[in-house]
Amino acid sequence: MRTALRPTLVRHEVILAAVLLIEWFYFYFTATSEKRGITFGFGALDSQFDLLRHSVEIGLLALAVTPIILTGGIDLSLGSTLGLCSIVFGKLWQDAGAPLWLAGLLTIVVGGLAGTINAGLIAKLRLPPLIVTLGTFSLFRGLAEALTRGTATYTGFPSSFLLLGQGRIAGLPTQGWLYLLVTIVIWLLIHRTVFGRTLRAIGFSSEGARYAGIPVNRRIAAVYVFAGIIAALAGIIYTSRLGQAKADAGTGYELYAITAVVLGGTSIFGGTGSVHGTILGVAAIAVLTKGLVYARQPQEVGGILTGALLLLALLASTFAKSTFYRTRTAKTLTAPPQPKLP
């Protein structure tokens, strides 16, 4: 049921933050060991940085898809866009001999173009986003494979570039700073600007938003183009972290990103949700999967628990909403109009 009403008792994000803290402390106390004053396992600083490095790319995609889901859309093509951008970056640098800054800039443009294709089909032609992005999911991955003939990878990047994915600035992994920057920008955009409010309005009721004078198509187009640009950035970071550009980069990332967004309390039907929820969702999944590895549990358990957590989060938010909905507004909203007798 689509509703803009918030659950009254506790906000979704607060529960999720509590889950995240419990997870973190559980692994901190069970999966950390100390030898001669050096910490090993989950609690070690290096492990925490490793966790951050691994969650940045999925985190960026999740941040990119949050505004899209807020408008009631979806984007399955972001993982493929990431792969395509990784290849384009490698090809520009190695085959075309472009300097790194130019290759990066052009890659961002390519990501924007990929987003523009989605935007054009969804906003201009009014095609369903699920199908359009399913099509571009194949198309972009296919282009990446065609560009590399399925096998070629690009390696041998200079160490100045690898600093982005493997080095540190001021103590934190370099991409962590970028992640923070993008998070702040998107948070401000969604929660503190009129633009962000119009996205929720569109997700809640696109027809109503149109009557309120919101340029619905332009707004929808903007979020898809924006998502393409962020996916390109994630592609460059991926390339730098692995020191390798390859066509299968980011396979399946779109689903992880969507999982994190929904776990973070954003409604898949649009209208409600938050950026900090998404960040918490990404972190909860990352801590769970990485923590289990440090706790010497099979990696697959992390996947199973993530799926279960997603179902639970969904159930919790649905029940919180439907209880509220039933008690306060059931009569006025669900009673069908009675026909008048002559």
Q: Which amino acid is at 225?
A: V
Q: How far is the CB of 128 from another protein (least distance, A)?
A: 5
Q: How far is the CB of 262 from another protein (least distance, A)?
A: 5
Sign of the CA dihedral with 200 first, then 202, 208, and 213 last: positive
Provide the terminal-to-terminal Cα distance of the chain, rounded to the nearest Å: 34
Among residues 18, 102, 304, 333, the one that binds another protein under rule CB under 8 A: 304
If the CB atoms of residues 198 and 278 are measured against another protein, the closer one turns out to be 278
Beta bridge partners of 41: 32
Q: Footprint of another protein on residues 282-301 (CB under 8 A)?
A: 298, 300-301
Tokens of 49: 């940085």
If the CB atoms of residues 136 and 206 are measured against another protein, the closer one turns out to be 136
- The Cα-based distances of 14 to 20, 268, 315 in angstroms read 10, 19, 16
| CB neighbour list of residue 217: distance below 8 Å, 6 or more residues apart | 123, 124
Q: What span, in angstroms and rounded, lies between the C-alpha atoms of 247 and 236? A: 13
Q: Footprint of another protein on residues 60-79 (CB under 8 A)?
A: 74
- 245 touches another protein by CB under 8 A: no
Instruction: List alpha helices for 167-298, DSSP H.
Output: 174-191, 194-204, 206-211, 216-242, 253-263, 275-294
If the CB atoms of residues 179 and 256 are measured against another protein, the closer one turns out to be 256
Among residues 163, 189, 255, 293, the one that binds another protein under rule CB under 8 A: 255
> How many residues of this chain interact with another protein, rule: CB under 8 A?
45
Q: How far is the CB of 150 from another protein (least distance, A)?
A: 5
Q: How far is the CB of 163 from another protein (least distance, A)?
A: 33
Among residues 262, 275, 286, 320, the one that binds another protein under rule CB under 8 A: 262
Residue 29: half-sphere exposure toward Cβ, Cα within 13 Å = 5
Q: Footprint of another protein on residues 88-147 (CB under 8 A)?
A: 121, 125-128, 130-132, 134-143, 145-146
Q: How far is the CB of 259 from another protein (least distance, A)?
A: 6
- The Cα-based distances of 57 to 17, 140, 253, 254, 289 in angstroms read 21, 18, 8, 10, 15
Among residues 99, 150, 208, 215, the one that binds another protein under rule CB under 8 A: 150
Single out the segment in contact with another protein by CB under 8 A; choices: 168-176, 180-188, 208-216, 262-270: 262-270
If the CB atoms of residues 100 and 305 are measured against another protein, the closer one turns out to be 305
The contact pattern for another protein, residues 36-55, with x = CB under 8 A and - = no contact, is --------------------
Q: Which amino acid is at 280?
A: L
If the CB atoms of residues 74 and 106 are measured against another protein, the closer one turns out to be 74
Angle at 131 between CA 129 and CA 136, to 5 degrees: 90
Q: Which amino acid is at 28?
A: Y
Beta bridge partners of 172: 169
Among residues 11, 109, 314, 325, the one that binds another protein under rule CB under 8 A: 314
If the CB atoms of residues 140 and 226 are measured against another protein, the closer one turns out to be 140
The answer to whether residues 165 and 175 touch, using CB atoms and an 8 Å cutoff, is: yes
Q: What span, in angstroms and rounded, lies between the C-alpha atoms of 8 and 101? A: 49
Segment (H or E) for 29: helix 12-30
Q: How far is the CB of 311 from another protein (least distance, A)?
A: 5
Site residues, another protein (CB under 8 A): 1, 74, 121, 125-128, 130-132, 134-143, 145-146, 148-150, 255, 258-259, 262, 268-269, 298, 300-304, 306-308, 310-311, 314-315, 318
